[in-house]
Structure 1
Amino acid sequence: ANWKMIDQTKGWVKDYELRQAAKKLNKFFEWHAANTRTLVGVEEKFELMIGRAKLTGSADRLEIDSDGQVYIVDLKSGGTSGESEKSVQDNLQLAGYQLAVARDGFIDNKPGTNSGGAQLLFLGGTEKSAAARTQLAVGADQTEAQIGTLAEAMAASVFVATINSRCRTCGVKNVCPLQSQGRSVIDEA
């Protein structure tokens, strides 16, 4: 199907998209009403140096709890896509947000350097309510070392391919020597 031929501003497509957006907004409003933390920033940009790598990004929401701990909330418009409370503990993106808090890396908003954790908030999917997956506070030194190691690996001239749970959605499967689609990259004629 050629989606470009469908006018998404009219008819059933528009109606469907509006209903989906309304569901997501309702889930967010219900979550927000129950949330006890105070919002201190939206789309807050951060930047910090880790070795020779510059880590930059923006956090959807910065919130502070009654103890002064900073929480980062990353809004997701899709479903949970298999993200469990256990797997989110290893989520390096959330850990990177927490590192930005710990290292005072936020540019315009200085919420403090005591990270209480980070959260993925899924608004899509079939769940009746927003699905939150919370990463507990992480060690800044450990996260910094892990990101530094990854940055050095990215700067290297050779990449070691590894099979993992993200292979299914990897954007470079077609050139990965461990995938059937990518074998032609290394096969000799």
Structure 2
Amino acid sequence: MKKLFFGLVTLLLLISFSGCANKVHNYAISSDNMLALKTFSNSSEGIKIVKFTDSNKNEATLMCRLSTPVGTPKGETFASYIENAFTKELMVSDMYNENSTIIITANLNDIYGSTVLGNAYWKFDITVKSSNGNSYNVNTKYDYESSLLVYSACTEMQRSFVPAVQKLNGEIIKHPKFKNLIQ
């Protein structure tokens, strides 16, 4: 009976603290970012986006609690995911122009995801550059709720990635130096 009890407790703990792979969702346009971009639409010929780079050697997954990888939906790098998300924001706002002489690129200097109970967040450090020579750095942190259980914590980490990238894009667009990038 004692072995059965310990066996069930062990099994329950393994199930509770194990995880599985989590893919972040496809990016969804932010209406706040779209409205912010609309304020620039008349003062720009449009923007062309060139490949975003990544100082973390093409990272496409992060480990959640050393048990579950959290990655992009199509296996692209986090830098590519952010590039595609930013491009979508520009396209919906009629700011993207493949023939523009204004070319924006960026380097994802760092990305970090934490699932610590009471201190769960996504953190981004990105440098945005323009073909006109202007650039600036954005550091942003998106807090979210976590859980004691691995499965729940990693699911929340995965679920919170899209709003974290929306916030990152918003901080890039609303940065006081953004207008210098697109002139």
Please state which band the TM-score falls in when normalised by the shorter chain. Answer: under 0.3
Could you say which structure has the greater relative contact order, defined with CA pairs below 8 angstroms and 6 or more residues apart? 2
- The TM-score with structure 2 as length reference comes to 0.27
